[in-house]
Every structure is written in structure tokens, then in C-alpha cells.
Amino acid sequence: MDALRLMTRRNVVRGIAAAAASFTFPCPSRAQSAARIVVIGGGFGGAACARALRRIDAKLQVALIEPNKVFTACPFSNEVIAGLREIEAQQFGYDRISAEGITVIAQAAVKIDPQKRSVGLADGTSLAYDRLVLAPGIDLRFDALPGYDEATAAKMPHAWKAGEQTILLRRQLEVMEDGGLVALAVPASPSRCPPAPYERASLIAHYLKAKKPRSKIIILDAKDAIPQQRLFEKAWKELYPGMIERISLSQGGRVVSVDASTNTLVTDFGNYDAKVANVIPPQKAGRIADIAGAVDNTGWCPIDPVTFASRLVPDIHVIGDACIGGAIPKSASAANAEAKACAGAVASLISGASPAMPKLDGTCYNTVAPGYAFSLSGSYQPKDDIFAEIEGSGFTSPVDASRETRLRESDIAQSWYHTITAETFG
Ligand code: FAD
């Protein structure tokens, strides 16, 4: 914690006074050298941003606040659910990040005072900052789907934050009898990783086909169009004929409530009693962003796309799933690209330089069976104050590609995971 100011309740008044003074009279030497950057959230966005900041300028004092000592990654967690890999392959610690001179604080941030520029931690201490980067990911909107709350999630898992929930869904599939109905409730956009529910349905089908072939999967969807729709539908026909049925929004697929006592998903057109119910509720920015005042009435954080600066609160930047990224889908790939661009912008602002115009590249891989994947990629730049896809930059795997191509994409997907996790945590 060394140079960073960690304030206890006892010296909080002194800390606030110092922060208030520097707010009124910015200190040029600190601005150019030992500026204090606090990053909240040690996931794909936050951890990558903290590292990038230190690499850009080793004099910056960077603290990373994250309550979990081990991070559990969502990408590839659908393979854990399908029994194709173990949860340990998803888990990463923070030792390498600490070794780079970043102060890793295993606490949750519970309070933010933008005027005093301080972050309150769960243990009652607080931390002063010159600039704050928020990367808290998502929270699930337990108020948005009648019948579904945190307690219900222990029976009808969402598995939309990886960890215990991922294991719970896997166990439920393992104990389900052959012939059971697995139902997935998919929310409307925006949400974390738009194609992931369909990847999940595919991999669950792979598991069921081998172990419980009389079982069926139904996707109850609050959307009409889905990413890479033709590719998913073709793969389902080819690999899992008759196993997966998707009911879109206009076909009455939106789940309007659930009843955990009977494992029932209710739509306007009918009820579905599932043996396993995977309920993915609507989402919003992680709660700490709301506490900071950085969330608007959409539930997400509006930002300036050049600097990732909050449009609502000074000296705060927001990256990853929590921010409104325009055309950029909420993904680990995007969070990583945003993290690096944001680190560059923050370092420029501190040194008084103009931030560069960011160009973010992102690729999303969907694995529908072992050795069978396809991808979607794009590049994005600020346009009309929001991120827009650069014309002609988008690429999607062809619908009629050969199995060799699908195999190659599956290998590339594995390499992508190794690279992004090594870059972020390794
Ligand atoms: P996260 O990675 O979730 O990190 C947020 C961190 O903030 C967490 O560690 C959390 O503990 C911490 N935090 C929250 N509140 C506080 C607080 N108050 N104080 C301190 N810390 C706090 N993306 C891809 O690119 N490719 C994929 O193949 C892919 N597959 C996916 C599959 C599934 C099933 C799911 C659900 C998602 C998938 N994603 C994928 C999406 C990806 O996981 C997210 O987009 C990515 O994790 C977002 O990064 P983030 O930093 O915004 O949030």
C-alpha cells in the first residue's frame, strides 16, 4: 500500500482535507509523476488497465481494489458447465500484478466521494485518488424478473458470473434424468456477452447428446435476432438435430416471471416446467458505479469515448461491461481493449497531453462443440460521441465453412483465451 494513501477512520479527516486541497490547487509535480490512480474491479477490464498504467509510466501509483483473491473468468465457463473443462482452468490470482508494483487491495469498494476524491472500503478504511477507473462489470437485476431473486438463483442458476453458479448449473445437469427439459431464459439487450447464451445451449446439447440423449433444450428469448444466428442454427441442425428449440421474442419467448417452487418459466404465451432452469436475468453496471453517481437511467455508465471519462462524475473513468460502449459488445475482448486505451488516456491527461483517438479491436469466439467454433470481430472508433463500428471492419466466419475451418477457429479460440488471461493476470 506504501505510497498510496490508505486512510483509516482515525485519519480520514486529514485525508479528506488533503484530497480537497489538491482538488482546489492541483499539484503539478504529482500530476506529472506520482499521480494516484485507483482502479476498482480486478476483472478483464480493471486488471488490464492497472497493468497498462504501470507499463506506460512506472512512476504512477496504481492501486487495484478487488474483494476476491482469485478471479474466475466467464469466457470458456460454458465448457465447464458442459463438463469439458474444470473450473480451475478459469481461475487466476493477483500475485503477478502485485509483483509489478501495483498495490492490490483485497477489499470491496463500498463508497465513493467524487468531491473529496476518495474511495471507502468495506473494512472502513479509505483511499484517496487523483483519478479513479471503475471496472466493476455487471450486477444482475434481481428486481427485474418477478419471482427471481438472489435466493432463487440457488435453485435456478444464472451462471452469468462465473464461479459457484457455474458449478451449480453443471451439477444440476449431471443429476438430471435422461429425457428432462433444460430451459434457458435469455434477457433483452444490452447484456454481458450477447452470443454466450447460444454457445451455452450448444455445449449443454453436446453434453446431453452423449449422456442423456432423450433430453431437450428450450431457449426462451427476449430478443428476435441473435448474433451469428445463421451459424448457430446451422450448427444446431448439423450437430444436435431436434435437441434445441429457440422461441424468439416475437414468437412469445420472453420470460415474464418465474416460479422457483415448480421450476417454471412463465411467458405471455405459455408456461415451461423445466428440470433444469438457467435463468439469465437483465443486467446493469456493477453497483459501485451507481454509488459513484456514474450510472444513468439506462442502468449503465455514459462515457466520453475518447477518454472513457464519466459524463456524470469528474475524475472518474469507466471501462468494461459497466460502460455504455455504443456498438461494442460487452465482452472480455472489448474490456481489455478499453482498458489499454483508457490507461493511455488517463496517463495523457495526467501529463497534460491530449489523449489519442482510440481504435478498439475485438473478436468473440463461439464454441458449439469441441473442435467446432466460429467468430465475429470488428474495430470501433468514436463517432458522434459514441463508439461506432468502423465501416468494413466487421468479420464473421462464413456460414458454409468447412469442418477444418471450424477446427482451426476452435484452436484460435483456445489461444485467444491463453493470451488474454496471460496478458491480464499472468
Ligand atoms: P469482470 O471481468 O466481471 O470484472 C469485474 C470485477 O469487478 C470482478 O472481479 C468483481 O469482483 C469486481 N468488483 C465488482 N464490484 C466491486 C467493488 N465494489 N469493489 C471492488 N471490486 C468490485 N467475453 C469474451 O470476450 N469472449 C468470450 O468468449 C466470453 N464468453 C463469456 C461466456 C459467458 C458465459 C459469460 C457470462 C461472459 C462471457 N464473456 C466473454 C464476457 C466477459 O466475461 C465480460 O464481458 C468481461 O468479464 C467484462 O470485463 P469487466 O472487467 O467489465 O468485468
Q: Are 232 and 368 in contact (CB under 8 A)?
A: yes
Both 168 and 267 in one domain: the answer is yes
pLDDT at position 33:
58
Does residue 146 lie within any of the structural domains? no
pLDDT digits (tens, 9 = 90+) for 312-328: 999 999 999 999 999 99
Does residue 61 lie within any of the structural domains? yes
Both 164 and 273 in one domain: the answer is yes
The whole-angstrom separation of Cα 397 and Cα 414 is: 16
The whole-angstrom separation of Cα 226 and Cα 219 is: 12
Q: What percent of the chain has pLDDT over 90?
A: 92
Does residue 160 lie within any of the structural domains? yes
Query: What are the two backbone dihedrals, phi and then psi, of residue 45, each rounded to the nearest 5 degrees?
Result: -80, -55
pLDDT digits (tens, 9 = 90+) for 33-64: 589 999 999 999 999 999 999 999 999 999 99
Residue 381, SS3 per DSSP: strand
Both 254 and 324 in one domain: the answer is no
pTM of full prediction above 0.95: no
Does residue 375 lie within any of the structural domains? no
Q: Is ligand 1 within 6 A of the CB of residue 71?
A: yes
Both 28 and 100 in one domain: the answer is yes
pLDDT digits (tens, 9 = 90+) for 296-314: 999 999 999 999 999 999 9
Residue 160 CA to ligand 1 center (angstroms) comes to: 9
Residue 136 CA to ligand 1 center (angstroms) comes to: 8
Domain count, the chain: 2
* Rounded alpha-carbon distances, angstroms, from residue 104 to 41, 63, 393: 10, 6, 37
Asked if omega into 190 is within 30° of 0 (cis), the reply is yes
Both 241 and 163 in one domain: the answer is yes
Both 311 and 208 in one domain: the answer is no
Residue 340 CA to ligand 1 center (angstroms) comes to: 16
> Closest Cα to residue 172, out of 154, 197, 189?
154
Both 271 and 294 in one domain: the answer is no
Both 36 and 115 in one domain: the answer is yes
Ligand 1: residue whose CA is nearest its atom 9: 43
Q: Give the domain extent around 326.
A: 19-137+286-357
Helices (H), 298-371: 332-351
Both 273 and 166 in one domain: the answer is yes
Q: Is ligand 1 within 6 A of the CB of residue 79?
A: no
Both 300 and 191 in one domain: the answer is no
Both 250 and 330 in one domain: the answer is no
Residue 332 CA to ligand 1 center (angstroms) comes to: 7
Q: Are 205 and 244 in contact (CB under 8 A)?
A: yes
Helix, strand, coil shares of the chain as percentages rounded to 5? 35, 25, 40
